[in-house]
Amino acid sequence: MTTAEQAIKHLVVGEENSGDRLDVFVSEELEISRSHAQKLIKEGFVSVNNLVFTKVSKTVKTGQDATVLLPQPKPVEIIPQDIPLDIVYEDEYLAIVNKQQGLTVHPAGESFTNTLVNALLFKIKNLSSINGDVRRGIVHRLDKSGLMVVAKNDFAHVNLSSQIEKKECRRIYFALVEGVLKTDSGTINKPIARSKSDRKKMAVDTNGKKATTLYEVINRYTDNTLVQFELKTGRTHQIRVHSSFLGHPIVGDKAYGFKKQKFNLQGQLLHSKIIEFTHPYSKEIMRFESPLPDYFLKVLSSIQS
């Protein structure tokens, strides 16, 4: 394989990954499957401190440099699909989408249909290309329901991404949590890393990456609390991990909360309700707010009565 057919990725082992198996480290850092990482290692495409290792179980240590040679992905055609989409705002540079629960953001693995990107390609003529064809226009992740910003060109994409990185973009979520919070508001400053006991999950870890979440009680019920969370950083599963750390996991969250749930839900009651940022071109402050979805309101109604 020639270098023209490869992408070179340079990775540095942080404290939170020290002691990890090489295949685990590579899969997590590159967001690829563990089997894919193992294949790359066995075929000699992964080196640590300039030494090639083909043993997938080799452990890595803090400060080590890993280099991964990735074959360039084959071109994939993402088909536009007429999927219902709530576009709450649109101009020639960006759009704001109120994403419904259950709609995957972008194609992954071998599934290239029925995602937000497929819907965007049908509804919107131009989308930014910075993240490749499978993530056209996608500036940030959103696993659940609520507001997302979509970029229509690369300049807007870079600008919006920078605002998120610099904490200049406000992202506010509403969640229903288990139990009754005693304090009206607070700040959770707890670093987050990959869980040592379950690699599919995240956890509060002193060696993890900085994570800050603000919270404020909106309403208290007999056994639950409606809470507003504001992200100051954007770690994977941040609100879910931090609310669980408080001892008040999100209702419907079987991964970080109660295994037995009182309500028949398809996922946790977590909704991206407010997003505020500076328009990349006009420099106007843009603020959008979405109502809580029906499945969320239904649970609130049941606990109120």
pTM: 0.78
From CA 84, how far away is CA 114, in angstroms rounded?
Answer: 11
Among 163, 144, 135, 138, which residue's Cα sits nearest to residue 239? 144
From CA 161, how far away is CA 150, in angstroms rounded?
Answer: 11
Helix (H) / strand (E) element for 21: namely none
Cα 92 → chain centroid: 26
From CA 286, how far away is CA 284, in angstroms rounded?
Answer: 6
CB atoms within 10 A of CB 300: 16
The fold adopted by the segment(s) 170-274+286-304 is Pseudouridine synthase (3.30.2350)
How is residue 204 written in tokens?
């509060």
Q: What is the pLDDT along the chain (305 residues), one digit of tens a residue?
A: 444 455 788 999 988 788 989 998 998 888 777 888 999 999 999 999 999 989 999 999 999 999 999 876 666 788 999 999 999 999 999 999 999 998 998 887 667 899 999 999 999 989 999 888 888 999 988 878 999 999 999 999 999 999 998 889 999 999 999 999 999 999 999 999 888 788 789 999 988 889 999 999 999 999 999 999 999 988 889 999 999 999 999 999 999 999 889 998 888 999 999 999 999 999 999 999 999 999 999 999 999 87
pLDDT (0 to 100) of residue 1: 43
From CA 253, how far away is CA 266, in angstroms rounded?
Answer: 9
The three-class DSSP label of residue 16 is helix
List beta partners, residue 215: 186, 229
| Burial grade of 225 (CB within 10 A; 0-12, 13-18, 19 or more) | buried
The sheet that has 51-52: what strands, in order across it? 6-12, 65-71, 46-48, 51-52
Q: Integer distance in angstroms from the first to the last C-alpha of the chain?
A: 65
Same fold, 86-166 and 170-274+286-304: yes
Contact of 134 with 105, CB cutoff 8 Å: no
Compute the C-alpha angle 43/46/48, nearest 5°: 140
**Domain locations in the chain?**
3-71, 86-166, 170-274+286-304
Which distant-in-sequence residues (6+ apart) come within 8 Å of 291 by Cβ?
none
Q: What is the CATH number of domain 86-166?
A: 3.30.2350.10
What are the catalytic residues? 143
Q: Where are the beta strands (DSSP E) in 236-295?
A: 270-278, 285-289
- State the residue for tokens 């997003």: 275
| Burial grade of 171 (CB within 10 A; 0-12, 13-18, 19 or more) | buried
Does domain 3-71 fall under CATH 3.40.50.2000? My reply is: no
From CA 293, how far away is CA 272, in angstroms rounded?
Answer: 10
